[in-house]
Amino acid sequence: MTSDYEAESIKVLEGLEPVRQVPGMFLGETDNGEALHRCVWEVVDNAVDEHLAGFNDAIDVIIHKNGSVTVIDHGRGIPVGIHPDYGISAATLIMTKLHAGGKFDNSLYKVSGGLHGVGVSAVNAVSEWLRMEIRKDGELWSQTFKEGVPDADIAVVGKEEGSGTSITFKPDVQFFSNVLDFDFEQLDQRLKETAFLNGGLMITLTDERDDSRDMVVHQYDGGISEFVGQVAERNTLIHPEVIHFSGEKEDSDEKVVEVDVALLWTDAFTERIFCYTNIIRNRDGGTHLSGMRGSLTRTINSYGQSRNLLKKVGKLSGDDVREGLAAVISVKHPDPSFSSQAKDKLVTSEVQGIVESIINEKLGEYLEENPTVARAIISKASLASTAREAARKARELTRRKGVLEGGGLPGKLADCQERDPAKCEIFVVEGDSAGGSAKTGRDRKTQAILPLRGKILNVERQQRNEAKVFQNNEIMTMIKAFGAGVDHWTGASITSDDDDDDEEVDDASFDTDKLRYHKIIIMTDADVDGAHIRTLILTFLWRHMRPAVIGGYIYIAQPPLYQVSRGKQSAYAYSDGERDEKIKELRGDNPNAKVNISRYKGLGEMNPEQLWETTMDPATRTMLRVTVDDATAANELFTTLMGEDVAERRQFIDKNAAEVTNLDI
């Protein structure tokens, strides 16, 4: 390696080359589908900006069979004239230069959701090819790009009435883990949210890959009130109508910030809050969420105390107030700031105070004018407070008995020798038989084994009886083994803004810094019972050790489903498809050769060497890391699958049954 570091060592990446060099910096994670779908969002957001500017009432999205996507708007059409400074068409400039576009001119767009001129050019940069068609002044203009470079100058290719822009692009597989698999459900959900946030805008989605799937149309005149109503439709409402209000205030630069809020309390135990800035979903919340949380807590406490409605509980916490809340907060800001290019978190500091001020005023007025609704909300929050206090006392009693403190590890735990948590992993194993094989076959230096007996308690059904959770032996064994404590039942959506001014810190809360292992690996049998046990464990972790899930400390082991052998040759298969491939390989030139197939249903069927070789050896094993893209969606899923509503669970199963593979009946 040369140590020369001279002037010529400095490289300047021109045009779209920065995006092609580090696409993740501009579009998000490229290995999990985030960046692939963000390409669609960036083009759609430009079409939405035309709607916000008052020039577009419809957007069409089409997924083609060849892996390309088309987004059509009916706005003004991208300008095609020659740019005075660059000597090329403005449309070409927008597609080939970063930070080029109309979003920097507030006279053109009051607010916008696109990536300030980076978005569509970034999509062009990571596309194998992109075709732009512009309808303007009775003419149809067209230009095609390959790997971000124009094939030729933009030109008129025909006559066409109306106006608007059509972008068709095929992402380059080299930037997306060699997979172009657009998720219809993900696209549909995001487009549905976009239509809700833009009352009256019609958005259609067509999937040409599936002939049986009809075009989906989203158009909601009720806006975010209708959105919240649909979010809460599966629950019993605490009050009959959505609380909807909006307001606007100037920031210190005299820029107008608009705030739109819809609230609806239900009998649910979770909160579901959706945050948006300029129609873009902020999955990690931000300053608008912080402002909303703080103002809800203060306004409702203030009302309750002034009416002497909080005699039994004294003061409501933020968690109490938000339990069962379905809400949308949408902010429009001329120049918002985000924590990253992906815009998952709003960080414009002044927004927090603006949101607080508007909600304090508008919600305060609403409660004064609707005392019956106010009393219903406070009654719900008071019940949550009482239950939370009972759970706190149960944890305190448990802690006094030493279960949540250090005081020795569970006897069934086979610990590892290493003491650096970053190098340690623990296998949570179903059954003593599998636990015995795992203990014998493991690497004792870094691998700990914790066998569990049977199915643990379904904590999803114990929100009002947490004391029962701490009486479950297997759950207590996990708490002691992991060493990081336990949270009370976590029904709220987790974002990086989970604090508000009125929260009290629970000294029994889960602390990832105290985790004894940085890999918690759930290892269960490859059958229906094993899947159920795995789901029960995941439910407990989500509800009582959520920071471990959010932090990426949880893994799922993948034991093989089959062993196929011919003579002295054998191989393991982890799916039916892989089994068939292994059979072909073992038969070789003799298609009729006898191949023995063993179906593993229990880990206990494997001897220690097999379990190590197939499932535990870091050099050869396959594991799934549990990640959370959307905490609100995860909450909904756990509630649906593990909660009390049988009809809702049946509906979920009916809808998704066709996607299940390797099901043992």
Closest Cα partner for 406 from 488, 513, 507, 516? 516
Closest Cα partner for 547 from 516, 513, 521? 513
Catalytic residue among 396, 527, 605, 648: 527
Examine residue 429 and state whether it is found in any structural domain, yes or no.
Answer: yes
CATH code, domain carrying 147: 3.30.565.10
Confidence of residue 592 (pLDDT cuts 50, 70, 90): confident
Q: What is the pLDDT of residues 335-384, one digit of tens each?
A: 899 987 778 899 999 999 999 999 999 999 999 999 999 999 999 999 99
- Same domain flag for 163 and 53: yes
- Same domain flag for 133 and 97: yes
Is the pLDDT at 244 greater than 50? The verdict is: yes
Q: Tell me which of 218, 240, 262 is where a domain ends.
A: 218
Mean of pLDDT values over 61-83: 94
pLDDT of residue 664: 52
Q: Identity (one letter) of the amino acid at 215?
A: M
Any residues with CB less than 8 A from the CB of 215 and at least 6 apart, and which?
A: 204, 205, 206
- Same domain flag for 265 and 193: no
pLDDT of residue 652: 79
Q: Tell me which of 172, 198, 218 is where a domain ends.
A: 218
Mean of pLDDT values over 208-230: 94
Mean of pLDDT values over 96-106: 61
pLDDT of residue 496: 45
CA distance 446 to 425: 6
pLDDT of residue 201: 95
CATH code, domain carrying 333: 3.30.230.10
Catalytic residue among 50, 133, 319, 430: 430
Structural domain span for residue 468: 408-559+626-636
pLDDT of residue 655: 74
Alpha-carbon distances, residue 437 vs 213, 427, 433, 482, 609 (angstroms)? 48, 12, 7, 21, 8
Q: For this structure, is 525 an active site residue?
A: yes
**Percentage of residues of the chain with pLDDT beyond 70:** 87
Is the pLDDT at 3 greater than 70? The verdict is: no
Examine residue 106 and state whether it is found in any structural domain, yes or no.
Answer: yes
pLDDT of residue 504: 45
Q: What is the pLDDT of residues 176-217, one digit of tens each?
A: 876 788 999 999 999 999 999 999 999 999 999 999 999 999
Is the pLDDT at 162 greater than 90? The verdict is: yes
Number of Cβ within 10 Å of residue 59's Cβ equals 28
Q: Tell me which of 191, 218, 245 is where a domain ends.
A: 218
- Same domain flag for 207 and 235: no
Examine residue 435 and state whether it is found in any structural domain, yes or no.
Answer: yes
pLDDT of residue 110: 56
- Same domain flag for 198 and 237: no
Confidence of residue 643 (pLDDT cuts 50, 70, 90): confident
pLDDT of residue 502: 47
Confidence of residue 661 (pLDDT cuts 50, 70, 90): low
Q: What is the pLDDT of residues 78-96, one digit of tens each?
A: 999 998 888 889 999 889 8
Catalytic residue among 344, 356, 502, 525: 525
pLDDT of residue 650: 81
- Same domain flag for 273 and 366: yes
Is the pLDDT at 18 greater than 80? The verdict is: no
Catalytic residue among 17, 34, 188, 529: 529
Is the pLDDT at 124 greater than 60? The verdict is: yes
Examine residue 484 and state whether it is found in any structural domain, yes or no.
Answer: yes
Q: What is the pLDDT of residues 414-469, one digit of tens each?
A: 999 999 999 999 999 988 888 899 999 999 999 999 999 888 999 998 877 777 88
Paired tokens of 61: 């999205």
Examine residue 534 and state whether it is found in any structural domain, yes or no.
Answer: yes
Examine residue 590 and state whether it is found in any structural domain, yes or no.
Answer: no
Q: For this structure, is 210 an active site residue?
A: no
pLDDT of residue 505: 42
- Same domain flag for 111 and 230: no
- Same domain flag for 385 and 277: yes
Buried b (16+ CB within 10 A) or exposed e, 566-605: beeeebbbbeeebbeebbeebeeeeeeeebeeeebebbbb
Is the pLDDT at 522 greater than 80? The verdict is: yes
- Same domain flag for 150 and 176: yes
Contact 56, 199 (CB under 8 A): no
Q: For this structure, is 629 an active site residue?
A: no
State the average pLDDT for the chain: 86
Q: Identity (one letter) of the amino acid at 444?
A: R
Bigger pLDDT: 495 vs 263:
263
Bigger pLDDT: 544 vs 508:
544
Q: What is the pLDDT of residues 293-340, one digit of tens each?
A: 999 999 999 999 999 999 989 899 999 999 999 999 999 998 899 987
Examine residue 598 and state whether it is found in any structural domain, yes or no.
Answer: no
Q: For this structure, is 529 an active site residue?
A: yes
pLDDT of residue 432: 82
Q: What is the pLDDT of residues 134-147, one digit of tens each?
A: 999 999 999 999 99
Q: Identity (one letter) of the amino acid at 587?
A: R
Alpha-carbon distances, residue 591 vs 567, 576, 584, 594 (angstroms)? 15, 18, 7, 9
Examine residue 616 and state whether it is found in any structural domain, yes or no.
Answer: no
pLDDT of residue 86: 84
**Percentage of residues of the chain with pLDDT beyond 90:** 56
pTM score of the predicted model: 0.75
Closest Cα partner for 51 from 198, 246, 259? 198
Mean of pLDDT values over 121-128: 90
- Same domain flag for 152 and 293: no
pLDDT of residue 345: 92
Contact 10, 75 (CB under 8 A): no
Is the pLDDT at 5 greater than 50? The verdict is: no
Q: How many domains does the chain have?
A: 3
CA distance 332 to 350: 13
- Same domain flag for 39 and 180: yes
- Same domain flag for 416 and 486: yes
CATH code, domain carrying 417: 3.40.50.670
Is the pLDDT at 508 greater than 60? The verdict is: no
Closest Cα partner for 519 from 599, 448, 602, 605? 448
Paired tokens of 553: 């400390």
Confidence of residue 7 (pLDDT cuts 50, 70, 90): very low
